[in-house]
């Protein structure tokens, strides 16, 4: 199982939008996809629950695992009594819950537990996507410890690009302290770029010059179609020129990310 944490300490940069479309892309490729929501806002959770609602054959869950349980000691095998929530189409969810807010007060040693839980589930999945909250703190560190890769969506305004430096420091800290020495930065994705705004074009060029190959070639431009596609992939939303462009751009991003991780469909 390849695990990707989608992170940026600035809000509104498109983390959940990217997470949900990567999940749909993975499902359509036939990959067994585990979605983990570490953001108490629960937007990624809502997307997967909408996916689940399309599968009437799924029974009501009695032991579905929630995200806060990832911070409890691991009980392996069938005796664990908990498992991800099946959402149909090879997808499963570890849903965000209100108790995630209590993770901020946990000791450092608890931050390694999500990695152990995901390792215990790895045999059942090909890809794990972790959506994170737009804040510093324990949940973000836990995601970085658990992940193989970090993917950073970023708008081109100064606040968002400044947040990248803080995130890069956190990634380096996780590596240097031995919490996850194999953690890799998958790349930075320029998101919500307005083609008509000079400020955005200058900011995009600055990102390209500053990040080089770390910046993913494909760009997500500001599209209404992308904003409204909450319970389905952008490429399966309403038709029209704007929707077609949004779909093409999103699929190009997903394809490039999958190539960078050598993910293949079955």
* Domain edges within the chain: 2-261
Residue 210 in tokens = 């500053």
CA distance 213 to 208: 8
| Ramachandran region, residue 89 (left: φ > 0; alpha: ψ -120 to 50; beta: rest) | left
Provide the pLDDT for residue 94.
Answer: 96
| Residue 112, number of CB atoms within 10 A of its CB | 15
pLDDT one-digit tens code per residue, 127-158: 999 999 888 788 999 999 999 999 999 888 77
Span 34-45, mean pLDDT? 94
Sort strands 91-94 and 85-88 into parallel, antiparallel or unpaired.
antiparallel
pLDDT one-digit tens code per residue, 73-85: 887 654 555 689 9
Q: Is the pLDDT of residue 48 over 80?
A: yes
Provide the pLDDT for residue 208.
Answer: 87
* Cα within 13 Å of Cα(210), Cβ side: 13
CA dihedral 108, 114, 115, 120 (to 10 degrees): 140
Asked whether 128 and 261 are in contact (CB, 8 A), the reply is: no
Sign of the four-CA dihedral 117, 57, 227, 239? positive
Question: For the chain, how far is it from start to end, CA to CA, in angstroms?
Answer: 14
Q: What is the mean pLDDT of the chain?
A: 87
Residue where the block lists tokens 């320029």: 190
This prediction has a pTM of: 0.92
Among the CATH numbers 3.40.50.720, 3.30.1330.10, 3.40.50.300, 2.40.50.140, which is that of 2-261?
3.40.50.300
The DSSP symbol for 94 reads E
Question: Which three-class secondary structure state does DSSP give residue 249?
Answer: helix
pLDDT one-digit tens code per residue, 188-206: 999 888 888 888 888 888 8
Distances (CA, A) of 93 to 45, 90, 141, 244, 252: 7, 10, 20, 29, 25
- Alpha helices by DSSP H, listed for 12-108, are 15-28, 43-53
pLDDT one-digit tens code per residue, 147-186: 999 999 988 877 777 778 888 999 999 999 999 999 999 9
| Angle in degrees, 0-180, between the axes of helices 241-261 and 15-28, rounded to the nearest 10 | 80
User: Is 254 exposed, middle or buried, given 0-12, 13-18 or 19+ CB atoms closer than 10 A?
Assistant: buried
């Amino acid at each position: 199982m390849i695990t990707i944490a989608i992170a940026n300490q600035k809000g509104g940069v498109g983390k959940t939008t990217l997470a949900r479309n990567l999940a749909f892309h993975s499902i359509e490729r036939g990959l067994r996809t585990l979605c983990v929501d570490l953001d108490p806002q629960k937007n990624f959770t809502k997307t997967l629950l909408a996916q689940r609602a399309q599968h009437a054959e799924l029974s009501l869950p009695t032991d579905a695992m929630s995200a806060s349980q990832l911070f409890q000691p691991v009980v392996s095998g069938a005796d664990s009594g908990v498992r991800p929530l099946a959402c149909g189409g090879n997808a499963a969810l570890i849903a965000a819950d209100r108790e995630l807010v209590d993770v901020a007060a946990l000791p450092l040693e608890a931050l390694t537990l999500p990695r152990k839980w995901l390792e215990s589930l790895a045999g059942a999945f090909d890809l794990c996507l972790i959506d994170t909250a737009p804040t510093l703190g324990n949940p973000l560190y836990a995601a970085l410890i658990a992940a193989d890769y970090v993917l950073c969506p970023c708008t081109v305004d100064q606040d968002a690009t400044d947040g990248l430096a803080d995130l890069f420091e956190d990634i380096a800290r996780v590596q240097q302290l031995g919490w996850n020495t194999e953690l890799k930065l998958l790349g930075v994705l320029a998101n919500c770029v307005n083609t008509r705004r000079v400020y955005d074009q200058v900011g995009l060029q600055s990102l390209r010059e500053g990040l080089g190959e770390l910046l993913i070639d494909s760009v997500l431009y500001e599209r209404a179609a992308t904003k409204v596609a909450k319970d389905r992939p952008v490429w399966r939303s309403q038709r029209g020129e704007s929707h077609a462009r949004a779909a093409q751009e999103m699929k190009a991003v997903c394809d490039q990310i999958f190539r960078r991780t050598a993910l293949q469909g079955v």
